[in-house]
Structure 1
Amino acid sequence: MHQIKNITMAMGIAIMLVACNRNNTSFDASGSFEAEETLISSEAVGVIKQFDIEEGQTLNAGQNIGYIDSLQLHLKRKQLEAQIVSILGKKPNVSVQLSALQEQLRNAENEKIRISNLLKGDAATPKQLDDINNQVAVLKKQIEAQKSTLNISSDGLGKDALALQVQIEQLNDQIAKCKITNPISGTVLTKYAEANEMTAVGKPLYKIADLSNILLRAYVSGNQLPQIALNQKVKVLTDDGEGGYNQTEGTIIWISSKAEFTPKTIQTKEERANMVYAIKVKVKNDGLYKIGMYGEILFSDK
């Protein structure tokens, strides 16, 4: 009976020692998990006709998830296209409008050749040749002047049409922005809008974050800085819910260059330190780690 009592007492002491040892586990730093969150906002004004996402849903980059009413933009584009057709229809046909003067010039040049031949046989006078030369010169100037006027008119109408074409391109860009396309792969954290609601440029639609890799923001004292470096591998531990810890490996990807006062919710290894430095540890997430979850860091094996 006495032997059984001694064994029971020894087991109790062992259990207490294990529990105390677990509760007194020393960590180099601690903090909470966060993610790089991206707020996706509307790029158009109008009624949301379709918006197919839910909080917690995983989206791929480039995935179409809805659209905003763009009927008025389409109608405006059709109006501009019709205006362009009308303007280009007014452009003069330079060759047709110059054909009469060019025919007169050809006749005058033929007459010049005929008079030149007659002059050689003393059948025409020098004045007749001078008159036909002047007529040819005048017709050439008229053709050049008319051509210049027609080209200026044509260029002006072309520029008017080009200005409308630029407006069409702007409308095409606005119409494209009516499609709600998810820009990055990740998980929808918060949804701010619903189908059939009115939205505007810059109004938030949803918040998304890539949770395949998650960040543990922790704080260290100035005395601990020599122990850490960028790209250093560290141990990351979280409560497993049974009094123990889940352990994985993380990488230090950022160390603050300036000190700050210790956050009220954070305790570092040296609890009396007033000033600490923030660090970020990147951890591969298999679904275990959630935003806001508490975690601890070991810089080396204890």
Structure 2
Amino acid sequence: MRTLITTTIAALTLASCGNKDNQFDASGTFEAVETIVSAEASGLIKTLNIEEGQQLQAGQTIGYIDTVQLSLQKRQIEAQINAVLSRKPNIAAETAALQEELRHARQEQQRIANLVKADAATQKQLDDATSQINVIRKRITAQQTSLGTTTSSLSDEAQALQAQLAQIKDQLAKSEIVNDVEGSVITKYAEANEMTAMGKPLYKIANMTTITLRAYLTGDQFAKAKIGQKVKVFVDADAENYKSYEGTIEWISDKAEFTPKTIQTKDERANLVYAVKVKVKNDGLLKIGMYGEIKF
């Protein structure tokens, strides 16, 4: 009789465990979009005000890399630009003397023309006066062309320096470490007073306000899943109880794959499964890598 009771209890226990294993349609792990933020400049990290687990806002300045050398280069290039621009000629001032000479030549031509009309001067004198005007005009044109060439050359030189200045300003801006992604710091790779280089990781961040459960469905469950469908998501609250969340299917794989070894599906006999992503609003308890279950 005792043996029969023991056997019955064992059977009920196994049945209960079997029901617990099969009460969910699929299981998987939580993941989030993780972004590795790297340095955009090389040098000594002067400040880096972040800690793992800290919540950061987009656009928040969290530190900067030493900029002394860049600042000195900026001042040097600005001085060079001012020196180049100071050499640009003032075309009006440079040709003022010739313009005055031209004005006098025209007056002389007009005076001689009046004398020719009064038979007090010869035609040759008038022709010489006209020729003098043409000569002065050509001298003015030649000087304006020369001064224009000099101005253009100096402008090109200044533009090249302006491009260098823009590069320095861009490097100065990138020396300021600005967080571009809202989220929580997952991993910190660098500390203040350490040397860094362009492209070297500083920290990893992920937005945990909404987290994704990647679960796997068998072929017969695949037909039930639709993008936008609401499902129940369960995670372990303690050894015997679950905490539930509402989730939304946001992606369904169109290719079958072999069941991952760490995932237990409803039908353990199925070798091929389909991955789905379920978006869940995080209350702060869900973590990356945590296991979760879903039920339609």
TM-score by length of 1: 0.91
Which ranges in structure 2 are unaligned for 5 or more consecutive residues? 1-8
Aligned counterparts of 1:293 and 1:81: Cα–Cα separation in 2: 56
Which ranges in structure 1 are unaligned for 5 or more consecutive residues? 1-11
SS in 1 for 2:146: helix
Task: Say if 2:125 is the partner of 1:166.
Answer: no
Which residue of the partner structure matches residue 143 of structure 2?
A: 146
Aligned counterparts of 2:18 and 2:260: Cα–Cα separation in 1: 27
Contact 2:22 2:266 (8 Å CA) reproduced? no
Segment of structure 1 superposing worse, 28-37 or 236-245:
236-245
Instruction: Give 1:116's aligned amino acid.
Output: A
SS in 2 for 1:82: helix
1:17, CA displacement in angstroms? 9.9
Task: Say if 2:30 is the partner of 1:23.
Answer: no
Contact 1:22 1:244 (8 Å CA) reproduced? no
Which residue of the partner structure matches residue 74 of structure 2?
A: 77
Aligned counterparts of 2:292 and 2:72: Cα–Cα separation in 1: 56
Which residue of the partner structure matches residue 222 of structure 1?
A: 219
Which residue of the partner structure matches residue 4 of structure 1?
A: none
Aligned counterparts of 1:256 and 1:17: Cα–Cα separation in 2: 34
Task: Say if 2:186 is the partner of 1:189.
Answer: yes
1:124, CA displacement in angstroms? 0.4
1:63, CA displacement in angstroms? 0.8
SS in 1 for 2:276: strand
Contact 1:52 1:66 (8 Å CA) reproduced? yes
Segment of structure 1 superposing worse, 254-263 or 183-192:
254-263
Task: Say if 2:87 is the partner of 1:55.
Answer: no
Which residue of the partner structure matches residue 276 of structure 1?
A: 273
Which residue of the partner structure matches residue 41 of structure 1?
A: 38
Aligned counterparts of 1:19 and 1:267: Cα–Cα separation in 2: 17
Query: What is the RMSD of the two structures over their aligned residues, measured on CA atoms?
Result: 1.8
SS in 2 for 1:258: strand
* Deviations 1:20-55, CA, capped at 9 Å, x for gaps: 586344211100111111110000000100011110
Contact 1:37 1:207 (8 Å CA) reproduced? yes
Which residue of the partner structure matches residue 156 of structure 1?
A: 153
Percent identity of paired positions between Structure 1 and Structure 2: 57
Instruction: Give 1:41's aligned amino acid.
Output: S
1:18, CA displacement in angstroms? 10
* Deviations 1:93-146, CA, capped at 9 Å, x for gaps: 111110111111111100000000000010000111111111111111111111
Which residue of the partner structure matches residue 4 of structure 2?
A: none
SS in 2 for 1:166: helix
Which residue of the partner structure matches residue 5 of structure 1?
A: none
Aligned counterparts of 2:218 and 2:142: Cα–Cα separation in 1: 85
TM-score by length of 2: 0.93
Distance change in 2, residues 1:138/1:297 (3 Å): same
Aligned counterparts of 2:86 and 2:128: Cα–Cα separation in 1: 41
* Deviations 1:35-80, CA, capped at 9 Å, x for gaps: 1111100000001000111101111111111100011011001000
1:205 to 193, 198, 202: 202
The count of corresponding residues between Structure 1 and Structure 2 is 287
Which residue of the partner structure matches residue 116 of structure 2?
A: 119
SS in 2 for 1:257: strand
